[in-house]
Amino acid sequence: MGKKKLQHFAENKTFQHYFEASFSDISEQGSPMAGRWNDSFFCNNGKLVVEIGCGKGEYTIGQAKRFLENNYIGVDIKGARIWRGAKTIQEENLKNAAFIRSQAGLLHLWFAESEVDEIWITFPDPQPGSRKNKRLTSPRYLSMFKKFLKPEGVVHLKTDSRELFEYTNEMISENNLQVVNRVDDIYGTLTDGPLCEIRTFYENMWLAEGKVISYVAFQIDKLN
């Protein structure tokens, strides 16, 4: 492992807005923060919004700056990536953002039942072909998200993958889920607003390659 990565891992642990736990601790005990994020960390009653696979945290930070009344938590397993977002929180003294280093499949241990208002999934691995059950909008993950998402909560997907976008819409249709918003081509349809003004590193890269960026938001309370 490179020296810079080791430095970033070490610095992450000095940030009060950075959280991680060993697999054994989180799987056996769950997080002591579960059910306490707003009361004990953010100290307000704002909406709690979680971004899964946040990378360097551009979307988490972008939303936190734009919507100061909400609380944002970015989640990724790559600590070196999270460092950039965590460093920005410190440098800009943001009070409504934090990061968790964790696998997506363990998120039900980090949050309590009905604690989260919204989930954002931004440019995830589309897991092509036979790996459909690994997709973050597969029934496996949606069922897990339902454990900690409020009944009226919303899942947002923003992606450059047409395959993943169509798959997600199939899941919505098959399970009779409520669509909140759907935009097949964000940059061919919208000219302003958060959807096209807040961008991730990968989003800028896909746009430079001429890829179409799609978005769908939906509720999962009717998921069986």
70 Cβ contact list (under 8 Å, min separation 6): 46, 47, 48, 49, 63, 64, 96, 117
Burial class (CB in 10 A: 0-12, 13-18, 19+), 190: middle
Count how many Cα atoms sit within 13 Å of the Cα of residue 152 in the half-sphere of its side chain: 1
R_g over Cα of the chain: 17
- The answer to whether position 77 is within a domain reads yes
Structure tokens at 163: 């395959």
pLDDT of residue 1: 59
Count how many Cα atoms sit within 13 Å of the Cα of residue 59 in the half-sphere of its side chain: 30
CATH number of the domain that residue 191 is part of: 3.40.50.150
Number of domains in the chain: 1
Per-residue pLDDT tens digits of the chain, which is 224 residues long: 577 888 888 888 899 999 999 888 898 889 999 999 999 999 999 999 999 999 999 999 999 999 999 999 999 999 889 999 999 999 999 999 999 999 999 999 999 999 999 999 999 999 988 788 899 999 999 999 999 999 999 999 999 999 999 999 999 999 999 999 999 999 999 999 999 999 998 899 999 999 999 999 999 998 98
Contact 187, 146 (CB under 8 A): no
pTM of the model: 0.95
- The answer to whether position 113 is within a domain reads yes
- The answer to whether position 176 is within a domain reads yes
- The answer to whether position 209 is within a domain reads yes
Domain hosting residue 109, numbered range? 3-219
- The answer to whether position 25 is within a domain reads yes
- The answer to whether position 60 is within a domain reads yes
- Of 39, 125, 185, 221, catalytic: 125
Strands 48-52 and 116-122: parallel
- The answer to whether position 32 is within a domain reads yes
- The answer to whether position 224 is within a domain reads no
The torsion defined by the Cα of 190, 192, 193 and 198, in degrees rounded to 10, comes to 100
Residue 221 bears catalytic tag? no
